[in-house]
Structure 1
Amino acid sequence: MKTAFIGLGSMGGGAALSALRAGLDVTGVDPSERARAAFGNRAVARGSDLDPGQDAVVVLTVNAAQAEAALFGPEGAAQRVAPGGVVVCSATMAPADARRLAAEAASRGLLYLDAPVSGGAAAAREGRMTVMASGSDAAFAAAKPVLDAIAGKIWSLGSEPGQGAAMKVVHQLLAGVHIAAAAEAMALALRSGLDPHTVYGVVTSAAGNSWMFENRMAHVLVGDDTPLSAGDIFVKDLGLVEGMAREAALPVPLAAQALQLFVAQRALGHGGRDDAFVLRVWQALAGFALPGEPGGAEPVKPGPK
């Protein structure tokens, strides 16, 4: 099955490698020469550079605008997809954008699966992402070999594009709030003189733990702000939460506060760094040292992320 993966970042690159291991005929697409080199398989800079007759195109870009350009722009991949092929769009976007892209795909004779993903870089590399998808039975059937290769759990959320996108926005409300809460807890611990490694051990063995605390505060303990998921991503995603909530006439005060914290991370010049380091917002206010910084705890030895 000829399959293109557009976007070879921490999630897209891992998912593409999972598909390659599963035996799919995979070509990566990314404008970054570094990302293409890291993929280590066939990779091109633009969708229009793909071989014709692609059976599936998986889109793992940052947002709807990038997805639209990568698929339907002058150098987009849609022109290289075989008639009746499937677009699996995994970018996080508003439901209205998912419906609009699905309509454009249909006008070109292509199937469309609205299929956001979650699970982190490790899950992508191991082919066990969670996929929250909506689309026609035909789109699900066409995408099945790809989904089986990259996903540990596939949720079918309905027949209409937009439902998968809505589910991902709801998920990102939780993810953003949990990261902000984890950072706030670690900030209080550091300000109070507690050892961050001990704090991490206690929390991850007790009822206050969350997946985000365990995953993201591990980055802090290593002292590594390499952006596996940048703070700016949550400026975008929590903005989508607020937009969807406004349309639903539903207040989301926790999401709104978390959004402002990630905006503050950006204002401090760290929006492009790892989202765990929204912790630097509190650091700027209170002046404590993080692991690996002068006066801070010794960082732990880096491990797999």
Structure 2
Amino acid sequence: MIKAFLGTGLLGANFVKAMLDRGEQVQVWNRSAAKAAALEALGARVCATAADAVKGADYVHLTLRDDASVNEVLAAAAPGLQVGAVIIDHTTTSAAGAVERTKEWQARGFTYLHAPVFMGPANAREGSGFMLVSGNQEVITAVQPLLDKMTGRVLNFGPEEGKAAGMKLIGNCFLVAFTAGLSDTLGLGKALHISVQDMNALFDAWNPATMIPARLQRMTSGDYSKPSWELAMARKDTQLFMNTVQGNGALTVIPAIAAEMDRWIEKGFGNSDWTVIAKDVAAGLK
């Protein structure tokens, strides 16, 4: 069995190294030739073009930048694809793009499966982390043994094409918001002269991550009439954050949240649970 890997940046290169460790035959291509060339000494066959890299390959893996780069590289690789080749795309893309590519390549006689990951380079090297799939369940069942070798756990989100792409975006959105929130928290800690070690001690004893399921349920319930923390009180504390940091740096996320709180207070929800700020986006969610 021959595999092709298109895109050998940090993630792709480590996927390839793990494949080579397992004794697999891998043909590689990358826009920056030097990154692909570094894998030659480890046993990969380095190719000058994407079309050359996919020749004779049963499976074609991609780790690229975005929808546009995936479309461009697949178009360049198309002349070299053998009949029956399975394309497995690990790139984080739009859900619409994943759906469109699935249909397009099926019409051209090939199988395309979008399998984005929650994995860093170290995960790719050691086969840990998470890989997401959705769509044709027969296809997923057929490639599952191959994917299992690449990651710690494959998460199957059912038959809906593009859902894996959507779930990856949901996860990344949370990570971006979480990190930005932590940045503001560090800023507040700095202004208060509280060390990172002390903050770690707080979160180790009081783990807010355990609140996520209950918080999601409350935010999407549609009933904000029984507050555990009134919006007006949450807004008061939010002002304390901003006042404390003023002159000692800047907060990124908190001012935007304060503005949204003010909007809902002006609409008469000051005595409601503070999660009412999610009322509009939560409406209609299943």
Structure 1 length normalisation: TM-score?
0.62
Q: Distance in 2 between matches of 1:204 and 1:38?
A: 42
The structure 1 segments of at least 4 consecutive aligned residues displaced by more than 6 Å after TM superposition are: none
TM-superposed CA distance for 1:130, in Å, is: 0.7
**Aligned pairs (5 A) from 1:115-154:** 115-154=115-154
TM-superposed CA distance for 1:64, in Å, is: 0.8
Q: Distance in 1 between matches of 2:202 and 2:29?
A: 40
Judge conservation of contact 2:4–2:27 (CA < 8 Å) in 1.
yes
Query: Percent of counterpart pairs with the same letter?
Result: 27
Judge conservation of contact 2:137–2:158 (CA < 8 Å) in 1.
no
SS of 1:205's equivalent in the other structure is helix
TM-superposed CA distance for 1:113, in Å, is: 1.1
SS of 2:59's equivalent in the other structure is strand
SS of 2:132's equivalent in the other structure is strand
Q: Which residue in the other structure is 2:113 paired with? A: 113
Q: Which residue in the other structure is 1:268 paired with? A: none
Distance 1:145 1:6, change over 3 A: farther
Q: Which residue in the other structure is 1:261 paired with? A: none
TM-superposed CA distance for 1:186, in Å, is: 2.1
Letter in 2 for 1:9: G
Query: Which ranges in structure 2 are unaligned for 5 or more consecutive residues?
Result: 210-244, 251-286
SS of 1:144's equivalent in the other structure is helix
Aligned residues: 213
Distance 1:201 1:71, change over 3 A: same
Deviations 1:90-121 (A, max 9, x none): 11122111111111211221111121111222
SS of 2:103's equivalent in the other structure is helix
Distance 1:110 1:182, change over 3 A: same
Q: Which residue in the other structure is 1:65 paired with? A: 68
TM-superposed CA distance for 1:203, in Å, is: 5.5
Deviations 1:233-266 (A, max 9, x none): xxxxxxxxxxxxxxxxxxxxxxxxxxxxxxxxxx
Distance 1:155 1:17, change over 3 A: same
Deviations 1:197-239 (A, max 9, x none): x2464266343476xxxxxxxxxxxxxxxxxxxxxxxxxxxxx
TM-superposed CA distance for 1:165, in Å, is: 0.9
Distance 1:138 1:200, change over 3 A: same
32-41 vs 128-137, which moves further? 32-41
Q: Aligned pair 1:179/2:142, yes or no? A: no
**Aligned pairs (5 A) from 1:193-204:** 193-196=193-196, 198-199=197-198, 201-202=200-201
Q: Aligned pair 1:4/2:7, yes or no? A: no
107-116 vs 154-163, which moves further? 154-163
Deviations 1:62-99 (A, max 9, x none): 11111111112xxx223333212211111112211111
Judge conservation of contact 2:51–2:81 (CA < 8 Å) in 1.
no
SS of 1:54's equivalent in the other structure is coil
Please, what is the CA RMSD of the aligned residues? 2.8
Structure 2 length normalisation: TM-score?
0.66
TM-superposed CA distance for 1:141, in Å, is: 4.1
Judge conservation of contact 2:2–2:57 (CA < 8 Å) in 1.
yes
Distance 1:45 1:170, change over 3 A: farther
Q: Which residue in the other structure is 1:286 paired with? A: 249
Judge conservation of contact 2:54–2:60 (CA < 8 Å) in 1.
no
Distance 1:190 1:35, change over 3 A: farther
TM-superposed CA distance for 1:187, in Å, is: 2.4
Distance 1:99 1:195, change over 3 A: same
